[in-house]
Each structure stands twice: as structure tokens, then as C-alpha cells.
Amino acid sequence: MFLLPDEVLLAVLARVETVKDRNSFSVVCRRFYEMDRIHRSHLKVGCGLHPAHQALLSLCKRFSHLSSVEIAYSGWLSSDGEQIGDEGLFILATECTSLTKLSLNFCGFIRDPGFAKLANLGANLEVLLLNFIPGITGRGLLSLVSGCQRITTLKLTRCMQVKSMEWLELLGRKGRLEHLSIKHCKGIGEADLGKLGNGWRGLQEFHFEVDPTQRYTEVFVAKDNVSQQLEPICKKLRVLSLKNCLANPSQGLAQVLMHSEALVRLHLDTCIGVRDEDMVLIAMRCTQLKYLSLRVPSNYSMSARQREAAKLTDTSLKSIAEHCLQLEEVAICSVDGDFPSFASFSGVGVSAMVQWCPLLRRLSLDAPYAFSDSCMQVICASESLEILQLARCQEVSDLGMGFVANSHLCELHLCQCRGITDAGFAPLLGSNKLARLLVQDCPAISETGILGVAKTVVYKSGDRSGVDFTAL
């Protein structure tokens, strides 16, 4: 081993991925120790680091070329010892001069002064990920953004005290931001997003998620009515994910949807205010769309007037199928699919999408209205479809399952489909047609009845946790 050149040893070290194995590697001999010390780029610390700041200082001095540091205290108790606080950020700023990525999770003792210290010396910081940092406010973010000129990725999750938006304005003026994610930050609303200004022009990925338990629909409407007109030009935006948001016509997030012509991935989950005419415009402009996920909000969460104005129908699906010919993956969830008077998407619209999208290879459906055996026949006739996921499709019976035997499907997932029995899988027994079959909480299907149906069979009975069909 001592005769190995450094290039070969570095190639071996690059294949050692886990922290435990890297630690074992470093104690083999002094040469291995020095090699790991110089070339280790990532450090993760949290519970068990005691005394916290002294230990962090020692680690930073040992690994002098760290580019990524993660501090995580998920599940922390006072008995686990002290947490890393503001002093820890000062240590990172002074000792880790090559630091480009910082991730903080459940850090209860980091506050604005710590971010101010990091801003003074963290000029190379490009990626900042904050998850549940209760001590940080808009003032702390502003001081950090003022000092760190190279930030391209910012993710805020459950940062409840962030309310002032000067930091967002500054990021917009700098124009370097490429990835922005804001989730469950109750002080940041749809109306605040306009503060990004010209920063929308360079943004490539945007995620915005509101906690539905913190604000009601009436609050959404009241706040969005006073918002400024947001007319961004999102020529570079490729990924857009909105959850529990309000998209009033010609205002706020609706403008983002209308001006994102480069979109490749679109996820709309329970977004109140999105209408058929909006989806038609999106389809006509976003012709390069490859991944689409739609989860329609419950009608019980809106007033009668809002339900009628914001209802999505098969018109949206047909327009998307007509213009977005590059679609590869589609997920559709109708929250009120069991109630015909409230239904939005039906089997007719889904069938049209499958017929008109020649590259569609994955389809996920959760409670579409009137999705029957005839729709299964259309879907199984697709030559491109490889993966089909069905949840709460109660009108699909054994007859519909019979069409799978003549399809090009290689994976089939069924969840809470009560109309399908063991008899529906008879044409597939011993055929090795399917590579994988997953059956979850389907009471009429037994574990023994699906043995031999696919190369890999997964059976879950009584598990009502459900499957996240909208996550592409």
C-alpha cells in the first residue's frame, strides 16, 4: 500500500462514501490519515458532539478543505448536551475558508448575530439550506445576503420568524439566484414574492409551499388582493412547484405560471384559483414540459363561488395533451374524486392524454372520476407507457386488469382499488410480463393470489398510509 502512487490512492478514497468507512480509512496509517484530512470535503455534525464548539473547532482544523458542512439536531434533547450556536458559525467562517455549502437543521441556538458573523467571512458561500431555525429573522438573512455575494441556492423551511423581505429584494438585485425554495414559513406569503423583482429572470427552480393549518383560504384572498402586480419574465425557470397556494387571475403566482415558457417540470398541489383557461395558456406556452403533477384542491375548502370559478376539467388535460408532446410522466389526484358533483378530471380526459402523448412512460392516478375498464383498455393500448399507478380507482374491475396482459407495462402499482380481485391477475400468472407489482390495501386481493404475477411482488395489507402519487 505504501508503494501506491497518490493518484491511485485518491481513486480508492473517492469510492469510500460512508463516514464510518472514511473514518476507518483514516486510521490505517499516517499517510491515509493525511490523505483523508486533505481531501475530505463534507462534514456532518449534530447530537453527540460534546463539547460542541471545541469539537467543531477541532474538526475544522483537521479537515482544512471542507466545502460542505451540515449541522443537524433532529430529535435533540437537552440530555444530549449543548447545541452548536452562533459561535459555531463564527468558527466555520474563520476556519473553513473554502466553504460553499451550509445546511442547518433544527438548530435552536443559532440566531441573527451568528449569521452576521458568517456574512463577514463567508464570501464563498453559494448554497444555504435552513430547516427549522426558530432564531433567524429577516434581519439575519439580510446581513448574510449582504456579505455573501455568491449565493445561488437558498432553501428556507419552517423559518417562522422570517417576515421582513429586504433580503429577497437584495437577492433580486444581485441576480445570481438560481434555486429558491420557501416552505412552511408563515411570515412569507404569495404577495411577498414580487420583492424578488428582476431576480426572476435568472431563476431556474422555484418551490413555494404554505402550511394549510396556518392560514385559511379567506386569509389567502385578503393578502393577495393587496399584492402588487407581479409580471416576472421567467425565461430560465425549468422547475416550478406550488403547494397550498393562491393563484388569483393576473396576480402573484398566476403571473409566474403565465411567463415560465421554459418549464420542464410543473407541480401544482392544492393551488386555489387555477382555472381551465390558465392551464390552456400554460399548455400553449410550456411546450417542452416533461413532468406534470396536478392535485386538485378539495371543494370543501372553497366557497361555492370559488369552486365554480376555479374548477379544473378535462379541458385542461386535453389542452396539455395537444400541446405538450414531450410529456414523459404525469400524476393526477382528485381529492373529491369519489363525489361526482365535485369531480374535476375524469377518465375521458386521462384517456385523451394517454392517446395524444407519444412519449408518456409513467402515469399516476388517484381517484379520477369515471375511470372505468374502458379507460384501462385505452391506457393499456399505449406503446410508450411503462409504469402505471392506480389509487382509489373503484370502477376498475377484473375486466380492466385483463388488458394489462397485452400492454407494454413493466410496473403496476395498485392502492385501495376495491373492484379488483385475484381473478383479474389470472392472465398474468407465469407470464413474467410485469417486472414489478405492488398491491397496497386492496381487500379483494390476497397475497397468494398474486404470486407469480410479476418478477417482484410487494403486498401490503391494512396499510392506509397511502402512496404519494403526486411526487414525480
CATH number at residue 181: 3.80.10.10
298 found inside a domain? no
Please state the rounded mean pLDDT for residues 4-21: 78
369 found inside a domain? no
471 falls in which pLDDT band (50, 70, 90)? very low
Query: At residue 93, does pLDDT exceed 60?
Result: yes
Summary mean pLDDT of the chain = 86
168 found inside a domain? yes
- Answer whether 0.85 is exceeded by the pTM: yes
DSSP assigned state of 299: G
What's the pLDDT tens digit per position in 186-218? 999 888 998 998 899 999 999 999 988 765 444
163 found inside a domain? yes
Per mean pLDDT, which range of 9-13, 52-56, 142-146 is the poorest?
A: 9-13
140 found inside a domain? yes
Beta bridge partners of 129: 103, 155
Question: Cell 421554459 belongs to which residue?
Answer: 262
Number of domains composing the chain: 1
Per mean pLDDT, which range of 164-168, 446-450, 460-464 is the poorest?
A: 460-464
pLDDT recorded at residue 470: 43
pLDDT recorded at residue 305: 52
Please state the rounded mean pLDDT for residues 113-141: 91
Q: Is 1 exposed, middle or buried (0-12, 13-18, 19+ CB in 10 A)?
A: exposed
123 found inside a domain? yes
* Nine cell digits for residue 393: 380507482
pLDDT recorded at residue 251: 61
pLDDT recorded at residue 225: 41
> Which has more pLDDT, 270 or 153?
153
Q: Which domain holds residue 204?
A: 111-213
Please state the rounded mean pLDDT for residues 376-382: 95
> Where is mean pLDDT largest: 136-145, 272-281, 332-341, 455-464?
136-145
124 found inside a domain? yes
Q: Can you tell me whether residue 43 is helix, strand or coil?
A: strand
* Residue 451 neighbours by CB distance under 10 Å: 12
Q: Are 175 and 198 within 8 A, CB to CB?
A: yes
146 found inside a domain? yes
Query: At residue 367, does pLDDT exceed 80?
Result: yes
Torsions phi, psi for 71 (to 5 deg): -115, 115
Please state the rounded mean pLDDT for residues 31-35: 80
The CA distance from 29 to 26, in Å, is: 7
Q: Can you tell me whether residue 346 is helix, strand or coil?
A: strand
The CA distance from 340 to 240, in Å, is: 30
Query: At residue 223, does pLDDT exceed 70?
Result: no
Long-range contacts of 1-7 (CB under 8 A, 24+ apart): 1/28, 1/29, 2/29, 2/31, 6/35
pLDDT recorded at residue 2: 62
Q: Are 408 and 432 within 8 A, CB to CB?
A: no
Residue type, 70: E
